[in-house]
Structure 1
Amino acid sequence: MQTEIRHLLDCHVVGSDGQSIGKVGQVYLNDQTGEPEWVTVRTGFFGMKQTFVPLSNTRHSGEEIHVPFDKEMIKGAPNIDADERLSLREEADLYRYYGMRPSTIPQQRTSGEPSMGTPITGEMRDGLMDDGLMDEGDIDMTMSEERLHVGKESRETGRVRLHKYVETENVHETIPLSHEEVVIEREPIRDGEALGTAEIGEEDRQMILHEERPVVGKETRPVERVHLRKRDVEHEETVEGQIRRERLEIDEDGTIGDEAMDEPMDGLRDERGMLGRDDDIPPER
Protein backbone atom coordinates (compact mmCIF):
# COMPACT_ATOMS: atom_id res chain seq x y z
CA MET A 1 0.00 0.00 0.00
CA GLN A 2 2.77 2.45 0.91
CA THR A 3 4.49 1.64 -2.38
CA GLU A 4 1.32 2.51 -4.26
CA ILE A 5 0.91 5.77 -2.34
CA ARG A 6 4.53 6.70 -3.00
CA HIS A 7 4.01 6.00 -6.68
CA LEU A 8 0.93 8.24 -6.76
CA LEU A 9 2.79 11.08 -5.05
CA ASP A 10 5.46 10.92 -7.75
CA CYS A 11 2.93 11.23 -10.58
CA HIS A 12 1.73 14.11 -12.71
CA VAL A 13 -1.96 14.43 -13.58
CA VAL A 14 -2.78 14.68 -17.31
CA GLY A 15 -6.24 15.83 -18.44
CA SER A 16 -8.43 14.29 -21.12
CA ASP A 17 -7.32 17.06 -23.48
CA GLY A 18 -3.70 15.90 -23.14
CA GLN A 19 -2.61 18.92 -21.11
CA SER A 20 -0.43 18.43 -18.05
CA ILE A 21 -2.40 19.80 -15.10
CA GLY A 22 0.14 19.46 -12.29
CA LYS A 23 1.81 17.17 -9.82
CA VAL A 24 -0.05 15.16 -7.22
CA GLY A 25 0.01 16.97 -3.89
CA GLN A 26 -1.89 14.61 -1.55
CA VAL A 27 -3.54 11.20 -1.68
CA TYR A 28 -6.82 10.65 0.20
CA LEU A 29 -7.60 7.13 1.41
CA ASN A 30 -11.02 5.61 1.99
CA ASP A 31 -11.41 5.17 5.78
CA GLN A 32 -13.18 1.81 5.36
CA THR A 33 -11.14 0.17 2.59
CA GLY A 34 -7.86 2.04 2.99
CA GLU A 35 -7.69 2.37 -0.81
CA PRO A 36 -6.65 5.62 -2.50
CA GLU A 37 -9.83 7.38 -3.61
CA TRP A 38 -8.88 11.01 -4.25
CA VAL A 39 -5.75 12.93 -5.13
CA THR A 40 -5.12 16.63 -5.08
CA VAL A 41 -3.30 18.20 -7.99
CA ARG A 42 -1.23 21.31 -7.62
CA THR A 43 -2.62 24.10 -9.83
CA GLY A 44 -2.38 27.86 -9.94
CA PHE A 45 0.80 29.89 -9.95
CA PHE A 46 3.74 28.06 -8.39
CA GLY A 47 1.37 25.14 -7.71
CA MET A 48 0.13 26.74 -4.50
CA LYS A 49 -3.51 25.70 -5.07
CA GLN A 50 -4.57 22.07 -4.69
CA THR A 51 -7.67 20.77 -6.45
CA PHE A 52 -9.39 17.43 -5.79
CA VAL A 53 -9.60 14.83 -8.58
CA PRO A 54 -11.28 11.41 -8.20
CA LEU A 55 -9.17 8.33 -9.00
CA SER A 56 -12.19 6.51 -10.41
CA ASN A 57 -11.81 5.67 -14.14
CA THR A 58 -8.24 6.94 -14.24
CA ARG A 59 -5.38 5.31 -16.12
CA HIS A 60 -1.77 5.09 -14.91
CA SER A 61 1.03 5.31 -17.44
CA GLY A 62 4.53 5.50 -15.99
CA GLU A 63 4.64 8.64 -13.88
CA GLU A 64 1.37 10.00 -15.28
CA ILE A 65 -2.23 9.68 -14.11
CA HIS A 66 -4.62 10.20 -17.03
CA VAL A 67 -7.99 11.44 -15.79
CA PRO A 68 -11.25 11.69 -17.80
CA PHE A 69 -11.57 15.45 -17.20
CA ASP A 70 -9.95 18.38 -18.99
CA LYS A 71 -7.77 20.99 -17.37
CA GLU A 72 -10.41 23.73 -17.21
CA MET A 73 -12.92 21.46 -15.46
CA ILE A 74 -10.40 20.37 -12.85
CA LYS A 75 -9.35 23.96 -12.15
CA GLY A 76 -13.01 24.85 -11.59
CA ALA A 77 -13.65 22.12 -8.97
CA PRO A 78 -15.09 23.18 -5.59
CA ASN A 79 -12.53 24.92 -3.41
CA ILE A 80 -11.93 22.62 -0.44
CA ASP A 81 -9.16 22.81 2.13
CA ALA A 82 -6.72 20.11 1.09
CA ASP A 83 -5.13 19.92 4.53
CA GLU A 84 -8.21 18.50 6.26
CA ARG A 85 -10.29 15.34 6.04
CA LEU A 86 -13.14 15.38 3.55
CA SER A 87 -16.60 15.62 5.04
CA LEU A 88 -19.53 13.78 3.53
CA ARG A 89 -20.94 17.03 2.22
CA GLU A 90 -17.63 18.03 0.63
CA GLU A 91 -17.26 14.61 -0.94
CA ALA A 92 -20.83 14.75 -2.28
CA ASP A 93 -20.17 18.20 -3.74
CA LEU A 94 -17.10 16.89 -5.50
CA TYR A 95 -18.88 13.85 -6.93
CA ARG A 96 -21.75 16.03 -8.04
CA TYR A 97 -19.37 18.46 -9.74
CA TYR A 98 -17.60 15.68 -11.65
CA GLY A 99 -20.95 14.23 -12.74
CA MET A 100 -20.45 10.90 -11.00
CA ARG A 101 -23.50 9.02 -9.81
CA PRO A 102 -23.91 8.37 -6.07
CA SER A 103 -23.52 4.64 -6.74
CA THR A 104 -19.92 5.31 -7.65
CA ILE A 105 -19.14 6.49 -4.13
CA PRO A 106 -17.51 3.46 -2.48
CA GLN A 107 -19.66 1.82 0.23
CA GLN A 108 -22.35 4.47 0.65
CA ARG A 109 -21.63 6.10 3.97
CA THR A 110 -24.35 6.79 6.45
CA SER A 111 -25.02 10.24 7.82
CA GLY A 112 -23.54 9.14 11.14
CA GLU A 113 -20.10 9.00 9.61
CA PRO A 114 -18.64 12.48 10.00
CA SER A 115 -15.86 12.39 7.40
CA MET A 116 -13.71 10.25 5.15
CA GLY A 117 -10.31 10.24 3.60
CA THR A 118 -6.99 10.39 5.35
CA PRO A 119 -4.75 12.78 3.46
CA ILE A 120 -1.28 11.42 2.69
CA THR A 121 1.24 14.02 1.52
CA GLY A 122 4.84 13.99 0.44
CA GLU A 123 5.69 15.70 3.70
CA MET A 124 4.69 12.71 5.87
CA ARG A 125 8.26 11.56 5.89
CA ASP A 126 8.49 9.87 9.28
CA GLY A 127 5.80 7.26 8.66
CA LEU A 128 6.86 6.48 5.08
CA MET A 129 10.62 6.99 5.20
CA ASP A 130 11.26 3.35 4.41
CA ASP A 131 9.40 3.76 1.13
CA GLY A 132 11.61 6.68 0.09
CA LEU A 133 9.01 9.46 0.19
CA MET A 134 10.74 12.83 0.26
CA ASP A 135 9.68 16.44 0.62
CA GLU A 136 9.12 18.32 -2.56
CA GLY A 137 12.08 20.42 -3.51
CA ASP A 138 12.26 23.66 -5.42
CA ILE A 139 9.45 24.59 -7.76
CA ASP A 140 10.31 24.90 -11.42
CA MET A 141 8.00 26.51 -13.92
CA THR A 142 8.63 26.91 -17.63
CA MET A 143 7.55 30.23 -19.12
CA SER A 144 6.49 30.29 -22.76
CA GLU A 145 5.55 32.96 -25.22
CA GLU A 146 4.41 33.13 -28.79
CA ARG A 147 6.45 34.86 -31.45
CA LEU A 148 5.16 36.29 -34.69
CA HIS A 149 6.75 34.86 -37.82
CA VAL A 150 6.15 36.99 -40.90
CA GLY A 151 6.81 35.46 -44.29
CA LYS A 152 5.93 36.13 -47.90
CA GLU A 153 3.81 34.30 -50.38
CA SER A 154 3.26 34.77 -54.08
CA ARG A 155 -0.28 34.98 -55.37
CA GLU A 156 -1.86 35.84 -58.70
CA THR A 157 -3.12 39.42 -58.91
CA GLY A 158 -4.07 39.60 -62.58
CA ARG A 159 -3.28 38.58 -66.15
CA VAL A 160 -2.20 40.61 -69.18
CA ARG A 161 -3.14 39.30 -72.63
CA LEU A 162 -1.93 40.63 -75.98
CA HIS A 163 -4.56 40.48 -78.69
CA LYS A 164 -3.96 41.66 -82.26
CA TYR A 165 -6.97 42.61 -84.36
CA VAL A 166 -7.52 44.14 -87.82
CA GLU A 167 -8.94 47.63 -88.24
CA THR A 168 -10.16 48.88 -91.63
CA GLU A 169 -10.09 52.54 -92.65
CA ASN A 170 -10.78 54.36 -95.89
CA VAL A 171 -7.76 56.02 -97.47
CA HIS A 172 -8.13 58.83 -100.04
CA GLU A 173 -5.29 59.63 -102.39
CA THR A 174 -5.34 61.71 -105.56
CA ILE A 175 -3.29 60.64 -108.60
CA PRO A 176 -3.03 62.28 -112.10
CA LEU A 177 -4.54 60.29 -114.99
CA SER A 178 -4.50 60.87 -118.71
CA HIS A 179 -6.56 59.67 -121.67
CA GLU A 180 -6.51 60.16 -125.41
CA GLU A 181 -9.15 62.15 -127.22
CA VAL A 182 -9.81 62.68 -130.90
CA VAL A 183 -9.08 66.10 -132.27
CA ILE A 184 -10.43 66.79 -135.74
CA GLU A 185 -8.45 69.27 -137.78
CA ARG A 186 -9.66 70.36 -141.19
CA GLU A 187 -7.33 71.98 -143.75
CA PRO A 188 -8.63 73.05 -147.14
CA ILE A 189 -6.62 72.11 -150.26
CA ARG A 190 -5.85 74.97 -152.44
CA ASP A 191 -5.83 74.76 -156.20
CA GLY A 192 -2.62 73.54 -157.51
CA GLU A 193 -1.77 71.60 -154.32
CA ALA A 194 -3.63 68.48 -155.28
CA LEU A 195 -1.47 65.52 -155.77
CA GLY A 196 -2.76 63.32 -158.50
CA THR A 197 -6.37 62.50 -158.95
CA ALA A 198 -8.85 61.35 -156.32
CA GLU A 199 -11.40 58.69 -156.69
CA ILE A 200 -14.74 58.73 -155.13
CA GLY A 201 -15.51 55.71 -152.98
CA GLU A 202 -15.87 54.34 -149.48
CA GLU A 203 -12.92 54.07 -147.15
CA ASP A 204 -12.60 53.13 -143.46
CA ARG A 205 -9.76 53.88 -141.17
CA GLN A 206 -9.58 53.62 -137.38
CA MET A 207 -7.59 55.07 -134.56
CA ILE A 208 -7.22 53.45 -131.12
CA LEU A 209 -7.67 55.74 -128.20
CA HIS A 210 -6.09 55.09 -124.74
CA GLU A 211 -6.72 56.30 -121.27
CA GLU A 212 -5.16 55.80 -117.83
CA ARG A 213 -7.16 54.31 -115.01
CA PRO A 214 -6.23 54.11 -111.33
CA VAL A 215 -5.05 50.70 -110.15
CA VAL A 216 -5.14 49.95 -106.42
CA GLY A 217 -2.71 47.42 -104.99
CA LYS A 218 -1.93 46.54 -101.38
CA GLU A 219 1.10 45.17 -99.65
CA THR A 220 1.71 44.13 -96.03
CA ARG A 221 4.79 45.27 -94.24
CA PRO A 222 5.74 45.45 -90.51
CA VAL A 223 5.56 48.86 -88.91
CA GLU A 224 6.09 48.24 -85.12
CA ARG A 225 7.22 45.55 -82.68
CA VAL A 226 5.51 45.21 -79.26
CA HIS A 227 7.39 43.43 -76.41
CA LEU A 228 5.68 42.47 -73.14
CA ARG A 229 7.73 41.62 -70.02
CA LYS A 230 7.39 41.48 -66.21
CA ARG A 231 9.34 43.43 -63.63
CA ASP A 232 9.45 43.23 -59.82
CA VAL A 233 8.36 46.31 -57.92
CA GLU A 234 9.18 46.27 -54.18
CA HIS A 235 7.23 48.06 -51.48
CA GLU A 236 6.87 47.84 -47.71
CA GLU A 237 3.73 46.88 -45.82
CA THR A 238 3.11 46.70 -42.07
CA VAL A 239 1.37 43.56 -40.79
CA GLU A 240 -0.26 43.04 -37.42
CA GLY A 241 -0.76 39.91 -35.36
CA GLN A 242 -1.61 38.89 -31.82
CA ILE A 243 0.79 36.82 -29.76
CA ARG A 244 0.34 35.38 -26.31
CA ARG A 245 2.88 35.47 -23.49
CA GLU A 246 2.73 33.73 -20.14
CA ARG A 247 3.03 35.87 -17.02
CA LEU A 248 3.61 35.03 -13.40
CA GLU A 249 1.62 36.07 -10.37
CA ILE A 250 2.89 35.20 -6.93
CA ASP A 251 0.26 34.06 -4.43
CA GLU A 252 1.74 34.57 -0.97
CA ASP A 253 -0.40 33.77 2.11
CA GLY A 254 -3.52 34.04 -0.03
CA THR A 255 -2.65 37.53 -1.32
CA ILE A 256 -1.94 37.92 -5.01
CA GLY A 257 0.73 40.50 -5.63
CA ASP A 258 1.54 42.45 -8.77
CA GLU A 259 4.67 40.48 -9.46
CA ALA A 260 3.88 39.98 -13.15
CA MET A 261 7.05 39.02 -14.94
CA ASP A 262 7.15 41.42 -17.89
CA GLU A 263 10.83 40.90 -18.50
CA PRO A 264 12.89 37.71 -18.99
CA MET A 265 13.85 36.09 -15.70
CA ASP A 266 17.50 37.14 -15.83
CA GLY A 267 17.74 37.22 -12.05
CA LEU A 268 17.12 34.44 -9.56
CA ARG A 269 16.82 34.97 -5.79
CA ASP A 270 16.33 31.53 -4.28
CA GLU A 271 17.15 32.72 -0.79
CA ARG A 272 14.12 35.02 -0.90
CA GLY A 273 11.80 32.36 -2.36
CA MET A 274 10.96 34.80 -5.16
CA LEU A 275 11.63 34.74 -8.89
CA GLY A 276 12.27 37.92 -10.85
CA ARG A 277 14.74 40.72 -11.38
CA ASP A 278 16.73 42.00 -8.47
CA ASP A 279 15.00 45.38 -8.58
CA ASP A 280 11.53 43.73 -8.58
CA ILE A 281 12.04 41.94 -5.25
CA PRO A 282 10.08 43.59 -2.45
CA PRO A 283 11.96 44.58 0.69
CA GLU A 284 12.20 42.20 3.61
CA ARG A 285 9.23 42.29 5.97
Structure 2
Amino acid sequence: MIDQAQINQLFDCDMVDAHGEKIGSVKQVWLDDRTGRPLWAEVHTGLFGMKDTFVPIQEARMGQGQIVVPVDKKQIKDSPHIDIEGGHMSDAQQDELYRYYGMIPTASTGEHDRLPGGRQQRGTTTRDTATRDTGARNTGTKDTSRKGGGITRHEEELHAGVRDVEAGRVRLVKHVVTERQDMSVPVRREEVRVVREPVDPNRPADPNAFGDEEAEVTLHREEAVADKTVRPVEKVRLDKETVTDQERVSGNVRKERIDVEDNTTTRNKRNDRNDRR
Protein backbone atom coordinates (compact mmCIF):
# COMPACT_ATOMS: atom_id res chain seq x y z
CA MET A 1 0.00 0.00 0.00
CA ILE A 2 1.30 3.43 -0.92
CA ASP A 3 1.44 6.04 1.84
CA GLN A 4 2.13 9.77 1.88
CA ALA A 5 5.87 9.22 2.32
CA GLN A 6 6.03 7.57 -1.11
CA ILE A 7 4.14 10.23 -3.07
CA ASN A 8 7.36 11.80 -4.36
CA GLN A 9 8.25 8.50 -6.03
CA LEU A 10 5.02 8.29 -8.03
CA PHE A 11 5.48 11.13 -10.53
CA ASP A 12 6.69 10.02 -14.00
CA CYS A 13 6.90 6.48 -12.62
CA ASP A 14 5.83 3.60 -14.88
CA MET A 15 2.66 1.78 -13.84
CA VAL A 16 2.15 -1.93 -14.56
CA ASP A 17 -0.70 -4.32 -13.86
CA ALA A 18 -0.46 -7.53 -11.85
CA HIS A 19 0.80 -9.38 -14.95
CA GLY A 20 3.63 -6.93 -15.55
CA GLU A 21 1.96 -5.27 -18.55
CA LYS A 22 2.93 -1.61 -18.80
CA ILE A 23 -0.04 0.76 -18.48
CA GLY A 24 1.61 4.17 -18.75
CA SER A 25 3.36 6.84 -16.68
CA VAL A 26 1.89 8.68 -13.70
CA LYS A 27 1.41 12.42 -14.23
CA GLN A 28 -0.89 13.42 -11.36
CA VAL A 29 -1.95 12.01 -8.00
CA TRP A 30 -5.30 12.60 -6.26
CA LEU A 31 -5.49 12.62 -2.47
CA ASP A 32 -8.24 12.06 0.09
CA ASP A 33 -9.29 15.41 1.61
CA ARG A 34 -9.55 13.99 5.13
CA THR A 35 -6.53 11.73 5.39
CA GLY A 36 -4.22 12.92 2.62
CA ARG A 37 -3.97 9.33 1.46
CA PRO A 38 -3.38 8.80 -2.29
CA LEU A 39 -6.54 7.46 -3.96
CA TRP A 40 -6.21 7.84 -7.72
CA ALA A 41 -3.41 8.25 -10.22
CA GLU A 42 -3.91 10.02 -13.54
CA VAL A 43 -1.91 8.00 -16.06
CA HIS A 44 -0.95 8.89 -19.62
CA THR A 45 -1.85 5.87 -21.74
CA GLY A 46 -2.36 5.11 -25.40
CA LEU A 47 0.07 4.69 -28.28
CA PHE A 48 1.61 8.14 -27.86
CA GLY A 49 0.58 8.75 -24.23
CA MET A 50 -2.18 11.15 -25.30
CA LYS A 51 -5.01 9.62 -23.23
CA ASP A 52 -5.52 10.41 -19.53
CA THR A 53 -6.88 7.52 -17.49
CA PHE A 54 -7.72 7.30 -13.79
CA VAL A 55 -6.39 4.23 -11.98
CA PRO A 56 -7.09 3.33 -8.32
CA ILE A 57 -3.93 3.16 -6.23
CA GLN A 58 -5.42 2.47 -2.79
CA GLU A 59 -4.11 -1.10 -2.98
CA ALA A 60 -1.12 -0.38 -5.23
CA ARG A 61 2.45 -1.07 -4.21
CA MET A 62 5.89 0.10 -5.27
CA GLY A 63 8.28 -2.45 -6.64
CA GLN A 64 11.54 -2.16 -8.58
CA GLY A 65 10.87 1.45 -9.49
CA GLN A 66 7.36 0.70 -10.76
CA ILE A 67 3.83 1.03 -9.43
CA VAL A 68 2.01 -2.31 -9.44
CA VAL A 69 -1.80 -2.10 -9.36
CA PRO A 70 -4.20 -5.06 -8.93
CA VAL A 71 -6.21 -4.00 -11.99
CA ASP A 72 -6.01 -5.54 -15.46
CA LYS A 73 -4.60 -3.37 -18.23
CA LYS A 74 -7.59 -4.00 -20.51
CA GLN A 75 -10.00 -2.85 -17.80
CA ILE A 76 -7.99 0.33 -17.31
CA LYS A 77 -7.95 0.94 -21.07
CA ASP A 78 -11.77 0.88 -21.20
CA SER A 79 -12.31 2.99 -18.06
CA PRO A 80 -14.74 5.96 -18.25
CA HIS A 81 -13.46 9.40 -19.16
CA ILE A 82 -13.51 11.79 -16.21
CA ASP A 83 -13.38 15.50 -16.98
CA ILE A 84 -11.86 17.31 -14.01
CA GLU A 85 -12.28 21.05 -13.57
CA GLY A 86 -10.66 23.29 -11.00
CA GLY A 87 -8.29 20.63 -9.69
CA HIS A 88 -11.03 18.78 -7.71
CA MET A 89 -12.67 15.38 -8.14
CA SER A 90 -16.27 15.28 -6.92
CA ASP A 91 -17.88 12.39 -5.05
CA ALA A 92 -20.04 11.62 -8.09
CA GLN A 93 -16.99 11.29 -10.31
CA GLN A 94 -15.23 9.16 -7.76
CA ASP A 95 -18.28 6.91 -7.29
CA GLU A 96 -18.45 6.41 -11.06
CA LEU A 97 -14.88 5.13 -11.02
CA TYR A 98 -15.56 2.94 -7.99
CA ARG A 99 -18.53 1.35 -9.74
CA TYR A 100 -16.55 0.70 -12.90
CA TYR A 101 -13.64 -0.93 -11.07
CA GLY A 102 -16.04 -2.88 -8.82
CA MET A 103 -14.69 -1.32 -5.63
CA ILE A 104 -16.46 -0.26 -2.45
CA PRO A 105 -16.54 3.55 -2.15
CA THR A 106 -14.98 5.16 0.88
CA ALA A 107 -16.88 7.57 3.08
CA SER A 108 -17.96 10.75 1.32
CA THR A 109 -15.33 13.43 1.71
CA GLY A 110 -16.54 16.06 -0.72
CA GLU A 111 -14.18 16.85 -3.55
CA HIS A 112 -10.72 15.36 -3.81
CA ASP A 113 -7.61 17.37 -4.39
CA ARG A 114 -5.24 16.88 -7.25
CA LEU A 115 -1.52 16.75 -6.64
CA PRO A 116 0.09 17.76 -9.96
CA GLY A 117 3.15 15.93 -11.13
CA GLY A 118 6.01 16.88 -13.36
CA ARG A 119 9.73 17.25 -12.70
CA GLN A 120 9.33 20.79 -11.44
CA GLN A 121 6.93 19.67 -8.74
CA ARG A 122 8.33 16.35 -7.61
CA GLY A 123 8.90 17.75 -4.12
CA THR A 124 5.14 18.10 -3.52
CA THR A 125 4.07 15.80 -0.71
CA THR A 126 0.77 17.29 0.46
CA ARG A 127 -1.90 19.76 -0.47
CA ASP A 128 -3.16 23.10 0.76
CA THR A 129 -5.76 22.23 3.40
CA ALA A 130 -5.92 25.55 5.21
CA THR A 131 -8.72 27.32 3.32
CA ARG A 132 -9.84 25.07 0.43
CA ASP A 133 -13.56 24.82 -0.32
CA THR A 134 -14.55 21.13 -0.47
CA GLY A 135 -18.20 21.38 -1.46
CA ALA A 136 -20.61 19.51 0.81
CA ARG A 137 -18.13 19.23 3.64
CA ASN A 138 -15.49 21.83 4.39
CA THR A 139 -12.51 19.75 5.40
CA GLY A 140 -9.98 22.47 4.70
CA THR A 141 -10.38 24.35 8.01
CA LYS A 142 -10.38 23.16 11.60
CA ASP A 143 -12.33 24.44 14.58
CA THR A 144 -9.65 25.16 17.15
CA SER A 145 -11.77 27.28 19.48
CA ARG A 146 -12.43 24.38 21.86
CA LYS A 147 -8.88 23.16 22.28
CA GLY A 148 -7.02 26.36 21.50
CA GLY A 149 -4.88 24.39 19.05
CA GLY A 150 -2.97 25.57 16.01
CA ILE A 151 -2.88 25.15 12.26
CA THR A 152 -0.15 23.16 10.60
CA ARG A 153 1.63 25.08 7.89
CA HIS A 154 3.04 23.28 4.88
CA GLU A 155 5.68 24.08 2.33
CA GLU A 156 6.74 22.39 -0.86
CA GLU A 157 10.37 21.44 -1.22
CA LEU A 158 12.13 21.14 -4.55
CA HIS A 159 14.14 17.98 -5.00
CA ALA A 160 16.53 17.37 -7.86
CA GLY A 161 17.18 13.93 -9.25
CA VAL A 162 18.50 12.24 -12.35
CA ARG A 163 17.24 9.58 -14.72
CA ASP A 164 18.89 7.73 -17.57
CA VAL A 165 17.89 8.73 -21.09
CA GLU A 166 19.32 7.68 -24.42
CA ALA A 167 21.58 10.45 -25.74
CA GLY A 168 22.45 8.81 -29.05
CA ARG A 169 24.15 5.86 -30.66
CA VAL A 170 27.65 5.39 -32.06
CA ARG A 171 28.64 2.49 -34.29
CA LEU A 172 31.69 1.41 -36.26
CA VAL A 173 31.23 1.04 -40.03
CA LYS A 174 33.99 -0.32 -42.29
CA HIS A 175 34.09 0.57 -45.97
CA VAL A 176 36.67 0.37 -48.76
CA VAL A 177 38.40 3.37 -50.34
CA THR A 178 40.94 3.28 -53.18
CA GLU A 179 44.03 5.43 -53.32
CA ARG A 180 46.97 5.53 -55.73
CA GLN A 181 50.50 4.79 -54.57
CA ASP A 182 53.75 5.39 -56.49
CA MET A 183 56.91 3.46 -55.65
CA SER A 184 60.43 3.51 -57.10
CA VAL A 185 62.22 0.20 -57.67
CA PRO A 186 65.74 -0.35 -59.18
CA VAL A 187 65.81 -2.37 -62.43
CA ARG A 188 68.81 -3.75 -64.33
CA ARG A 189 69.41 -4.21 -68.03
CA GLU A 190 72.20 -5.54 -70.22
CA GLU A 191 73.96 -3.34 -72.75
CA VAL A 192 76.44 -4.21 -75.48
CA ARG A 193 79.92 -2.80 -75.63
CA VAL A 194 82.61 -3.60 -78.10
CA VAL A 195 85.77 -5.14 -76.71
CA ARG A 196 88.79 -5.22 -78.93
CA GLU A 197 91.69 -7.56 -78.04
CA PRO A 198 94.98 -7.92 -79.92
CA VAL A 199 95.82 -11.34 -81.36
CA ASP A 200 99.17 -13.06 -81.66
CA PRO A 201 100.73 -12.10 -85.00
CA ASN A 202 102.35 -15.51 -85.22
CA ARG A 203 98.95 -17.19 -85.08
CA PRO A 204 98.00 -18.81 -88.39
CA ALA A 205 95.46 -16.91 -90.42
CA ASP A 206 91.90 -18.09 -90.49
CA PRO A 207 91.15 -19.88 -93.74
CA ASN A 208 87.75 -18.13 -93.87
CA ALA A 209 89.30 -14.75 -93.78
CA PHE A 210 87.81 -12.13 -95.97
CA GLY A 211 84.42 -13.81 -95.71
CA ASP A 212 81.17 -12.58 -94.16
CA GLU A 213 80.68 -13.53 -90.53
CA GLU A 214 78.32 -12.40 -87.79
CA ALA A 215 78.00 -12.91 -84.04
CA GLU A 216 74.82 -12.49 -82.01
CA VAL A 217 74.44 -11.74 -78.31
CA THR A 218 71.11 -11.90 -76.39
CA LEU A 219 70.47 -8.98 -74.04
CA HIS A 220 68.30 -9.13 -70.89
CA ARG A 221 66.66 -6.50 -68.72
CA GLU A 222 64.56 -6.39 -65.54
CA GLU A 223 60.99 -5.10 -65.69
CA ALA A 224 59.15 -3.47 -62.75
CA VAL A 225 55.93 -5.22 -61.76
CA ALA A 226 53.34 -4.45 -59.04
CA ASP A 227 52.02 -7.09 -56.69
CA LYS A 228 49.64 -6.70 -53.72
CA THR A 229 49.28 -8.59 -50.46
CA VAL A 230 46.73 -8.14 -47.66
CA ARG A 231 47.95 -7.61 -44.11
CA PRO A 232 46.20 -6.41 -40.90
CA VAL A 233 47.25 -2.94 -39.77
CA GLU A 234 45.10 -2.05 -36.73
CA LYS A 235 42.01 -2.97 -34.71
CA VAL A 236 39.44 -0.30 -33.84
CA ARG A 237 36.82 -0.72 -31.08
CA LEU A 238 34.39 1.44 -29.13
CA ASP A 239 34.75 2.03 -25.42
CA LYS A 240 32.56 4.09 -23.07
CA GLU A 241 33.56 6.29 -20.19
CA THR A 242 31.43 8.37 -17.86
CA VAL A 243 31.99 12.09 -17.49
CA THR A 244 30.16 14.30 -15.00
CA ASP A 245 28.70 17.70 -15.85
CA GLN A 246 26.69 20.14 -13.78
CA GLU A 247 23.13 21.08 -14.78
CA ARG A 248 20.71 23.35 -12.98
CA VAL A 249 17.03 22.59 -12.43
CA SER A 250 14.39 25.01 -11.25
CA GLY A 251 10.75 24.91 -10.31
CA ASN A 252 7.98 26.78 -8.56
CA VAL A 253 7.23 25.74 -4.98
CA ARG A 254 4.28 26.71 -2.85
CA LYS A 255 4.19 27.58 0.82
CA GLU A 256 1.33 28.35 3.14
CA ARG A 257 1.16 31.56 5.11
CA ILE A 258 -0.94 31.92 8.22
CA ASP A 259 -2.78 35.13 9.09
CA VAL A 260 -4.13 35.92 12.53
CA GLU A 261 -7.71 37.18 12.69
CA ASP A 262 -8.58 39.01 15.89
CA ASN A 263 -12.36 38.89 16.42
CA THR A 264 -12.18 41.65 18.99
CA THR A 265 -11.55 44.15 16.19
CA THR A 266 -12.94 44.60 12.71
CA ARG A 267 -9.62 44.25 10.95
CA ASN A 268 -7.08 41.52 10.51
CA LYS A 269 -3.78 41.63 12.30
CA ARG A 270 -0.66 40.00 10.97
CA ASN A 271 2.28 39.11 13.12
CA ASP A 272 4.94 39.15 10.44
CA ARG A 273 7.75 38.17 12.77
CA ASN A 274 6.23 35.09 14.36
CA ASP A 275 3.15 33.96 12.45
CA ARG A 276 3.79 34.79 8.81
CA ARG A 277 6.64 32.91 7.31
TMscore range, shorter length: 0.3 to 0.5
Give the number of the structure whose residues are more often helix, by fraction: 1
The structure having more radius of gyration, on CA atoms, is 1
TM-score normalised per structure 1: 0.40
TM-score normalised per structure 2: 0.42
